[in-house]
Chains A and B, each alone.
Chain A
Amino acid sequence: MQRSILRSVFIALIVGFTATSGTVMSAPRPNSFDGNWSVIIHTRQGNCGESLRYSVRIIGGQVQSGEQNYRAAGSVSPNGAIRVVVAEGDRSASGAGRLAGNAGSGLWHTDRGDCSGDWTAQRRGGDNW
């Protein structure tokens, strides 16, 4: 019981991605970037932590979180251009960049301008262990 409560609390708090486009997910079209990705967020300016890694899934070009229990969205165009907005409390950060093949990278900044940095992404397959 305690475990499930903690899990719910944690997942509810962990992070949220919101879409920049407002695209409806009801009819996703296959996208060459569909799959599981691992994204490392690097802070280069400001006091926003060093590096963190998040699991992200892309389905039909739509960015989602790797968890069922929290919101995730964003969009990837067929040429790999990606735009994401992350919201935390009353703050938000914008990220943009490009995916190519099994990797990607880009920049991000908080909308208040107090932190910024870059991000890298790698497509992930199944775990062997």
Chain B
Amino acid sequence: MAADLSAARAALEGVPSEPGVPKPDPIVKGDNITRTFGGLKAVDVEHIEIQRGVITALIGPNGAGKTTLFNLLTGFDEPDDGTWAFNGTALGKVPAYKVARLGMVRTFQLTKVLSKLTVIENMRLGAKGQRGEKFLSAAFKSLWGAQEKANTDRADALLERFKLDAKREDFAGSLSGGQRKLLEMARALMVDPELIMLDEPMAGVNPALKQSLLGHVKSLRDEGRTVLFVEHDMDMVRDISDWVIVMAQGQIVAEGTPQSVMADQRVIDAYLGAHHDSDITEIDIADLEKAAEAELDEGTKP
């Protein structure tokens, strides 16, 4: 395992730090992906490649098109133009659920746990290929009971790993913001994805939980999965990512290892500068909501 990991990281060593650079072993490849809202070009990516087996961070100021790119890649939104492929399978017009089945599973910026289901039910939902989910066999427990048992065992193991086992029978709605992020990640693992895409995994998580969350993200890579995440928290980006892609105004403006990107003047201009400004000039509703949610979560925590 560890050898594979270092090999994966080593493969990136010779890759030059320039936007849209080809990778030695890409799991995702995209070309000329564009998406406009009204007159605004939210995403305009000429070429993107995501290296297999490493953690790639996608950063950029608010409105840079990171989440929109996520939505496009995972089939939650349709681009105006462009082609992209996952493991060589072209994904244009492929619906979101098929993308997930192929092994490319995402989480959401505003966590989407199913609050009126219990934690364990949330987990069971993630399992793939359930016979009991077919309408015709649903009424006959004998057809799906054994599979359900196996899925539950797997779910329990994951809950233990993510330290949610104590919350097993609680409604997911009663979890704190950080626990929701953990649950969403654990649930995504039930699908057994090759590529896991995390949209702001640190947003609304209280600082005490951040370290363990970081550890969990790293452990995803260590078990051989590819991770792509969007994040604002620069410490996290520096800490755990092997490669960083920087977006601004819909385009990829820089790429490279964390060290090289953080030192890049273009990035500081495009991202850090703009980001600092944006706090004053534009109010991002999603951010407002996130902040509100985080506050609420703090309030409801036991």
Q: Real complex partners, A and B?
A: no
State the B residues within 8 Å of A (CB).
Answer: none
